[in-house]
Chains A and B, each alone.
Chain A
């Protein structure tokens, strides 16, 4: 087991402020600990600090609004999009997630970790409980709510994000509260114990629906990593300690591992000093080996399958998953998006025409597909509902349709339509302030900003050949995973396809 508690190492010529990362930690995370992180505020420049903040990188967002990317002196990136709206969105993204946790399922692809499963998610909850300067439970949320602001946070496999939306006039105070929550959570054992009940309730609710169980299994087949890893196991969540949470925060909430995005009616001259105060005194440190990524474990020519039986189902679910382009492969990403639209969007989508309507005998009530890029890989998946006993035929129909879609003339026939649809969908999505900050922030965090900046051009320049190559490379009927969700009374069947393309 790797003890990541010792993982963060000072960079050369870097001096830690004494007391910022005290180890060993006191056994009792009582109120006495409030002294510790307040020392992050100082009028004296730390020794590691760059003397000045470098000039920002600027560009115009596809919505036509000015964007500036600043790097605080400790390496923390701040993105400001100025748009004339009556809501301000403030988000901080952290390049971590359940990928760093000890795997629920042992796998050669993921190292054992000091951090138990579910810790990223539990930690996210703890940021709203008590903070260093608001040590009374729920005092932080009380202040934010009284301003009428909405706050939330999400944890995924490769990213955690904390968000607040507020009225523009409250922004200065909200920045302070956001920094407090993100940078100075206060892990008190008694509060954490109570919060674990909420996390276990959430776990119970999210893992119950049959389609969630199917999705969980699909993640395991594709990535050797069950989807419920992010929620963790009950034992791990119950056993997570305040010390582990503290170390998790210290290890991954590092300046170069974080991006803060503001979008709305924002004046950089006003907010930058406030952001510097909140995030600029977090000492730089690195994780040896960097932050890991989710890995695609399906090898070319490999087909994996599983069946999930559930008494709640009175119909069947078929979920088919393929490898897909990673975030950084921006040209392949737009090609994959195009292919997903060709198959799954609108009444003229090939799945609708050929699988749902073209095969009424399969009694498919819904069919859709989606593409999700990750840092080192991606997933393209098809989900449909059919009747028990029809699963195998439905799978074959889907694979045949995918092969049909990967034909030059089929792609060419809908080239103009789908390109325009993609561009308009994108522009519509980023026309909302909160949606724009979410999309932009995650791309910057994972170093794929050009995808956001150049999306329109990337789509316009797509050729039939680009799409064909991407479709053949990824959505290949000889390499996929399939999960069947069936009613419990149905004998679990395995309508397995022979290896190789469907004939």
Chain B
């Protein structure tokens, strides 16, 4: 801490009468900690994970159902189908919404993830909402004979297909979209499902009949033993379990004894270490340049993952080294964004994006290199390590405020078939990371001898032409020629 130059010590006894109320007794103890995860097999063979978190004012139910990402173009419509596939579904969703219960289907890696959140005290309705949406069966209003609703009406499907086509077309006006599409083709190989761009995925969607969407979904429901249900709530674990077991009986989820679905495994991703040739995408609609760099990174179950998390805290946000170097010190960008994704089959990636003025392309690329070289060449100083760990604590403190954020702490563990971790465990793992760990993981990711780096750039055509004539660009090519030889 820097000295407070010339500041007289403040004497609170003089002139200040404090009316400060004492801290209420319930606030003097630490925030009530989440209980441990309790895993158990439900009556339909799905795995339930239950966590009691007494201080919450909301509860969340997450249902994870495996659905292969190889089905791109088919599975993309399923979240929307669950919410608005029929008029009755729309009514159902609105009815729950009016009770403060929000229903959000999405994809998390290889899983369809149905997230239902709502106020505490309404947990039975939360569970009921989740199962009604999922199974298409309803007991609403209570005690009514269960009736089945179709999942998708033809008129709705046509509308959804039209939306998909128009959205895919509209997305092309965003300069970064063609860049990311082109980089995906290099990263995964041209025939990998992840290399399909939005227009190609939409084209697949347009060709599918109604039955294809419904069957894909229904078949996914037939493997309850591969599904997971996660409950995060102030309720006691026993109450959570009882609610879930009651629901799986009432809604006869996964009733079919016939296993019709095939497993769609993703093709393996071939990726040699080293620096790959940059992907250059001409852009005629914007006068600016967009840079993206992607590196292979440790997955969430990798032993290096905690050190990677600390490394990210050192690199990212306003206090991170990227921001300091690119903006504070050099004024090259307004901001930069970093992202991480981990897929159990296709691997994990760390990426960095920035929008720059054309003359700043090479200075920005050099700035990024300077930052990562700094991490690779020297252990992070203790003060940086301390800051990173404090930032992690703050991030964790924020997460503990809501059930969906508490669930999100472990979402990747669930989708990687790993056991969830308690916040205390997460904290301990982070606390144990050493400067040498961070340096090691930085080398693993950024050193071309071990890691894999791909740079993408979209800019006006004449700017790209100039870029290919620079020594910086030639260095990429020279590097690759050396690697090839």
Q: With A45-B15, A277-B10, A424-B100 known to touch, is A149 a contact of B23 (CB < 8 Å)? A: no
Contact check, B15 vs A49: say whether CB atoms are below 8 A apart.
yes
- Is A38 located at the chain interface by the 8 A CB criterion? yes
Contact check, B331 vs A197: say whether CB atoms are below 8 A apart.
yes
Q: With A87-B394, A272-B20, A276-B16 known to touch, is A82 a contact of B27 (CB < 8 Å)? A: yes
Contact check, A86 vs B400: say whether CB atoms are below 8 A apart.
yes
Contact check, B17 vs A165: say whether CB atoms are below 8 A apart.
no
CB neighbors of A among B375-424 (8 A)? 383, 386-394, 396-398, 400-402
CB neighbors of B among A151-176 (8 A)? 151-152, 165-167, 170, 173
Contact check, B95 vs A204: say whether CB atoms are below 8 A apart.
no
- Is A302 located at the chain interface by the 8 A CB criterion? no
A272–B21 Cα distance when bound, in Å, is 10
Q: Which residues of B contact A385 (CB under 8 A)?
A: 170
Contact check, A273 vs B5: say whether CB atoms are below 8 A apart.
no
A335–B171 Cα distance when bound, in Å, is 36
Contact check, A272 vs B31: say whether CB atoms are below 8 A apart.
no
- Is B357 located at the chain interface by the 8 A CB criterion? yes
Q: With A269-B18, A315-B166 known to touch, is A420 a contact of B100 (CB < 8 Å)? A: yes
Q: Which residues of A contact B396 (CB under 8 A)?
A: 86
Contact check, A267 vs B23: say whether CB atoms are below 8 A apart.
yes
Contact check, A357 vs B355: say whether CB atoms are below 8 A apart.
no
- From A42, A86, A202, A210, B8 is in contact (CB under 8 Å) with A42
CB neighbors of A among B247-304 (8 A)? 284-286, 288
Q: With A268-B18, A314-B173 known to touch, is A139 a contact of B327 (CB < 8 Å)? A: no
A268–B5 Cα distance when bound, in Å, is 27
CB neighbors of B among A124-164 (8 A)? 132-134, 136, 138-139, 141, 143-152
A365–B397 Cα distance when bound, in Å, is 38
Contact check, A431 vs B401: say whether CB atoms are below 8 A apart.
yes
- Is A271 located at the chain interface by the 8 A CB criterion? yes
A266–B394 Cα distance when bound, in Å, is 16
The residue in chain A whose Cβ has the minimal distance to the Cβ of B317 is A150
Contact check, B394 vs A166: say whether CB atoms are below 8 A apart.
yes
Q: With A52-B17, A273-B10 known to touch, is A167 a contact of B355 (CB < 8 Å)? A: no
Q: Which residues of A contact B12 (CB under 8 A)?
A: 273, 276-277
- Is A22 located at the chain interface by the 8 A CB criterion? no
- From A267, A363, A416, A424, B22 is in contact (CB under 8 Å) with A267
Contact check, A38 vs B19: say whether CB atoms are below 8 A apart.
no
Report A287 CB to chain B, min CB distance, Å. 27
Contact check, B19 vs A272: say whether CB atoms are below 8 A apart.
yes
- Is B41 located at the chain interface by the 8 A CB criterion? no
The residue in chain B whose Cβ has the minimal distance to the Cβ of A84 is B27
- Is B162 located at the chain interface by the 8 A CB criterion? yes
- Is A10 located at the chain interface by the 8 A CB criterion? no
Q: Which residues of A contact B142 (CB under 8 A)?
A: none
Contact check, B318 vs A152: say whether CB atoms are below 8 A apart.
yes
The residue in chain A whose Cβ has the minimal distance to the Cβ of B327 is A198
Contact check, A84 vs B26: say whether CB atoms are below 8 A apart.
yes
- Is B144 located at the chain interface by the 8 A CB criterion? no
- Is B6 located at the chain interface by the 8 A CB criterion? yes
Q: With A315-B173, A347-B93, A417-B95 known to touch, is A53 a contact of B21 (CB < 8 Å)? A: no
CB neighbors of A among B22-42 (8 A)? 22-24, 26-27, 30-32
The residue in chain B whose Cβ has the minimal distance to the Cβ of A145 is B319
A41–B172 Cα distance when bound, in Å, is 57
The residue in chain A whose Cβ has the minimal distance to the Cβ of B24 is A82
The residue in chain B whose Cβ has the minimal distance to the Cβ of A203 is B334
- Is B182 located at the chain interface by the 8 A CB criterion? no
Q: Which residues of B contact A276 (CB under 8 A)?
A: 12, 16
Per-position 1/0 for A18-53, Cβ under 8 A of B: 000000000000000011001001110100010111
The residue in chain A whose Cβ has the minimal distance to the Cβ of B355 is A205
- From B18, B57, B98, A421 is in contact (CB under 8 Å) with B98
Contact check, B394 vs A150: say whether CB atoms are below 8 A apart.
yes
The residue in chain B whose Cβ has the minimal distance to the Cβ of A357 is B159
- Is B225 located at the chain interface by the 8 A CB criterion? no
- Is B189 located at the chain interface by the 8 A CB criterion? no
Contact check, B119 vs A139: say whether CB atoms are below 8 A apart.
no
Contact check, A146 vs B387: say whether CB atoms are below 8 A apart.
yes
The residue in chain B whose Cβ has the minimal distance to the Cβ of A196 is B331
Contact check, A204 vs B21: say whether CB atoms are below 8 A apart.
no
- From A52, A166, A194, A433, B401 is in contact (CB under 8 Å) with A433
Q: Which residues of B contact A133 (CB under 8 A)?
A: 2, 4-5, 7
Contact check, B334 vs A201: say whether CB atoms are below 8 A apart.
yes
Q: How large is the interface on B (under 10, 10 to 19, 20 to 34, 35 or more residues)?
A: 35 or more
A267–B170 Cα distance when bound, in Å, is 52
- From B21, B84, B94, B390, A68 is in contact (CB under 8 Å) with B21
Report B245 CB to chain A, min CB distance, Å. 27
Contact check, B20 vs A270: say whether CB atoms are below 8 A apart.
yes
Contact check, A41 vs B386: say whether CB atoms are below 8 A apart.
no
Query: Which of B5, B167, B386, B392 is the most central at the interface, judged by chain A CB atoms within 10 Å of its CB?
Result: B5
A211–B21 Cα distance when bound, in Å, is 48
A271–B55 Cα distance when bound, in Å, is 25
Contact check, B390 vs A147: say whether CB atoms are below 8 A apart.
yes
- From A70, A83, A360, A416, B162 is in contact (CB under 8 Å) with A360
- From B11, B57, B389, A431 is in contact (CB under 8 Å) with B57
CB neighbors of A among B150-193 (8 A)? 158-159, 162-163, 166-167, 169-170, 172-175
Q: With A312-B173, A314-B169, A433-B401 known to touch, is A53 a contact of B58 (CB < 8 Å)? A: no
A416–B331 Cα distance when bound, in Å, is 53
The residue in chain A whose Cβ has the minimal distance to the Cβ of B95 is A417
Contact check, B393 vs A148: say whether CB atoms are below 8 A apart.
yes
Q: Which residues of B contact A265 (CB under 8 A)?
A: 23, 27, 31
Contact check, A148 vs B172: say whether CB atoms are below 8 A apart.
no
A418–B284 Cα distance when bound, in Å, is 45
The residue in chain B whose Cβ has the minimal distance to the Cβ of A345 is B97
- Is A311 located at the chain interface by the 8 A CB criterion? yes
CB neighbors of A among B310-367 (8 A)? 317-319, 324, 327-328, 331-335, 355, 357
- Is B480 located at the chain interface by the 8 A CB criterion? no
A87–B394 Cα distance when bound, in Å, is 6
Contact check, A271 vs B400: say whether CB atoms are below 8 A apart.
no
The residue in chain B whose Cβ has the minimal distance to the Cβ of A270 is B20
- Is B373 located at the chain interface by the 8 A CB criterion? no
- Is A346 located at the chain interface by the 8 A CB criterion? yes
Report B359 CB to chain A, min CB distance, Å. 12
Q: Which residues of B contact A41 (CB under 8 A)?
A: 7-8, 10
Q: With A346-B93, A431-B401 known to touch, is A363 a contact of B162 (CB < 8 Å)? A: yes
CB neighbors of B among A331-373 (8 A)? 345-348, 357, 360, 363, 365
A167–B391 Cα distance when bound, in Å, is 9
Contact check, A70 vs B19: say whether CB atoms are below 8 A apart.
yes
Q: Which residues of A contact B386 (CB under 8 A)?
A: 146, 148
Contact check, A280 vs B23: say whether CB atoms are below 8 A apart.
no
Q: Which residues of B contact A312 (CB under 8 A)?
A: 173-175, 285-286
CB neighbors of A among B82-120 (8 A)? 83-84, 90-91, 93-95, 97-100, 118-119
Per-position 1/0 for A294-331, Cβ under 8 A of B: 00000000000000000111110000000000000000
The residue in chain A whose Cβ has the minimal distance to the Cβ of B332 is A201
In the complex, besides A314-B169, A314-B173, A431-B57, 5 extra interface pairs with C-beta distance below 8 angstroms are: A66-B21, A132-B5, A208-B286, A365-B163, A433-B401
A residues lining the B interface (CB < 8 Å): 34-35, 38, 41-43, 45, 49, 51-53, 55-56, 58, 63, 66, 68, 70, 73, 82-87, 132-134, 136, 138-139, 141, 143-152, 165-167, 170, 173, 194, 197-198, 201-202, 204-205, 208, 210, 265-273, 276-277, 280, 311-315, 345-348, 357, 360, 363, 365, 385, 387, 416-418, 420-421, 423-425, 427-428, 431-434
B residues lining the A interface (CB < 8 Å): 1-2, 4-8, 10-12, 14-24, 26-27, 30-32, 55, 57-58, 83-84, 90-91, 93-95, 97-100, 118-119, 158-159, 162-163, 166-167, 169-170, 172-175, 284-286, 288, 317-319, 324, 327-328, 331-335, 355, 357, 383, 386-394, 396-398, 400-402
List 5 A-B residue pairs with CB atoms under 8 Å apart, sorted by A's residue number.
A51-B15, A167-B393, A273-B16, A312-B285, A416-B98
